Amino acid sequence: MKNSDYTDDQVTRWRRYVDKCLLLSWKTVLIIAGVWVLSVVLHKAMYGPFSDHFGIKDGLGSDHVNAIFQDRNGDLWFGTDLGVSRYDGTSWQTFTTNDGLADNRVPAILQDRKGDLWFGTWGGVSRYDGTSWQTFTTKDGLGANGVPAILQDGDGNLWFGTFGGLGIGTEGGVSRYDGASWQTFTTKDGLADNRVPAILQDRKGDLWFGTWGGVSRYDGASWQTFTTNDGLAGNHVDCILQDRDGNLWFGTRAGLSRYDGASWQTFTTNDCLVAYAFCSILEDTDGNLWFGAHCGASRYDGTSWQTFTRTDGLADDEIMSSLQDTDGNLWFGTCGGVSRYDGTSWQTFMPNKIGLVPNAASTFGTAVIPVYFIISLVYTVIMKPDEYLLLSRRPILIIPALVLLPPALYRLFYEHYTRAGEGAVFMILLLVIPLYFIISLVYTLRTVGKRLRNRAS
């Protein structure tokens, strides 16, 4: 049928139909906008004005801070999910793949004896001499391109803990680089597992490798592995530290373990720890031990424990990294920014975005959370599109919030572990469509259906 075949009355009816569909869509948008404004007003009435923070506009690459390091000049380096940021105490500078970084996700940083900086990324390891960049990957001899741990031993060799892939232990291992050649050690050589997120050299010179299958000690000739059968709290070991008394501490997914060379002792939530899954361990100049977990930080003075969370000033309860700078300040890298603690007060560097409402979800419940609070919850869990979402965090609250995300394809990672640290990570691909689009589409299709039925009758 040609356009000329339509009568004036038919054209008028179609125009009215299109106008009605557009009006329904705009009504939906206006309703959601009204709820948003109302939520902001409620937030200010309940929590006061929004807090001022240092954020991305000030130079921090991302709010997800995986690693912290202070170089010999005193500058602080923060490995984030959107590059590595340098902070000199006044200004920020961020380096990304556009500058020469292998990948923008940076879980490890180290400065070698020559002063060169090494950045472990999920696309290889990059060396920066202050002027130029050089990247090493599996093509050069690296065990895998995921590098969550770096260490330089007493002989000057660089060790890289690699990570082949989620749930895959058939590639990766630990790679040694002497400045000229590479050598990789795997389970075939005696390593507990080929996924290595932590490395430490003790005072005797032995190397310890935290893996997803236990912790392995290497004395340069032979290997020895410790697991839950020997007294380790869990076989998934994410961090290692040797304290001033010579004790070794291992942060696992099932608690903390202390090893004095002869016996093991395990600390869990029953000992007043904030959680049982740990990502970082730090000993400050006073001898206090700080344990960063998924629910805050625990300080241990050898006798008693004290816990710090967002209510005390942390940017976020999920701590990924920690460091004490030369001035004595403690820095905690979290999934919501980086926090500095001087022993008395907290200062947070994080994205200056509306929506970080402490405990809003647990206070109001899923049934009565306004749109603003739902987006606040999403912001604390979603890093960015096509990255990851841990469904194990508040799973009941996350599902209804997904429909309010921008349209994008998300990779959802669900972690499941036993208290012994055994388990796996599952990935699900999810295409998210925003709620207002779904509602508008439903209204439009319903109207079209009615029109077609009326025409048919």
Q: pLDDT digit string (tens) for 324-334?
A: 999 999 999 98
Query: What letter represents residue 397's amino acid?
Result: L
Q: Do both 63 and 192 map to the same domain?
A: yes
pLDDT for position 159: 98
Are 27 and 444 in contact by the 8 Å Cβ rule? The answer is no
Going by their DSSP bridges, the two strands 158-161 and 149-152 should be labelled as antiparallel
Same domain, 65 and 46: no
Closest-CA residue to 269 (of 305, 220, 317): 305
Q: How many Å apart are CA 338 and CA 225, to the nearest integer?
A: 34
Domain presence at residue 14? yes
Q: What is the pTM of this model?
A: 0.69
Query: What does the mean pLDDT of the chain come to?
Result: 75
Q: Tokens standing for 282?
A: 């730090």
For 129-133, 254-258, 425-429, which range has the lowest pLDDT when averaged over its residues? 425-429
Residues 10 and 157 in one domain: no
pLDDT at 378: 44
Residue 255 has a pLDDT of: 86
**Which tokens belong to 269?**
């939530």
User: Tell me: the pLDDT tens digits for 138-158?
Assistant: 999 999 999 999 999 999 999
> How far is residue 180's CA from residue 182's CA, in Å, rounded to a whole number?
7
Read off the pLDDT of each residue in 49-55 and give the average, rounded to a whole number. 37
Query: And the tokens for 95?
Result: 């380096």
Determine phi and psi for 230, rounding to 5 degrees: -95, -15
- 327 and 415 housed in the same domain: no
Residue 456 neighbours by CB under 8 Å, 6+ apart: none
Maximum pairwise Cα distance, the chain: 94
Q: Which of 349, 382, 402 is the last residue of a domain?
A: 349
Phi, psi of 148 (to 5 degrees): -90, 0
Domain annotation covers residue 117: yes
Residue 156 lies in a domain: yes
Candidate from 94-98, 167-171, 297-301 with smallest mean pLDDT: 167-171
With respect to residue 208, please indicate whether it lies within any of the assigned structural domains.
Answer: yes
- CATH number for position 281: 2.130.10.10
Res. 309: pLDDT tops 60: yes
Of 389 and 457, more confident: 457
Dump strand ranges (E) for 92-144.
Answer: 92-95, 108-111, 117-121, 124-128, 133-136
Decide if 354 is inside a domain. no
In this structure, the answer to whether residues 176 and 266 fall within a common structural domain is yes
Q: How far apart are CA 211 and CA 215, in angstroms?
A: 6
| Alpha-carbon gap, residue 322 to 168, rounded angstroms | 28
Domain count, the chain: 2
> Which has more pLDDT, 410 or 222?
222
pLDDT score at 149:
97
Q: Both 324 and 371 in a single domain?
A: no
Q: Which residues span the domain enclosing 136?
A: 56-349
Q: Evaluate whether residue 419 is within a structural domain.
A: yes
Do both 195 and 335 map to the same domain?
Answer: yes
Do 127 and 227 fall into the same domain?
A: yes
Q: Are residues 298 and 441 in the same domain?
A: no
**Six-digit token pair at 338?**
């980086």
Least confident of 21-35, 72-86, 235-249, 381-395: 381-395
Same domain, yes or no, for 34 and 152? no
Could you tell me if 380 and 312 lie in one domain?
no
Residue 355 lies in a domain: no
Q: Where does a domain end: 349, 372, 394?
A: 349
Within-domain flag for 12: yes
Q: State the pLDDT confidence band at 396, using cuts at 50, 70 and 90.
A: very low
Note whether 46 and 69 are same-domain residues.
no
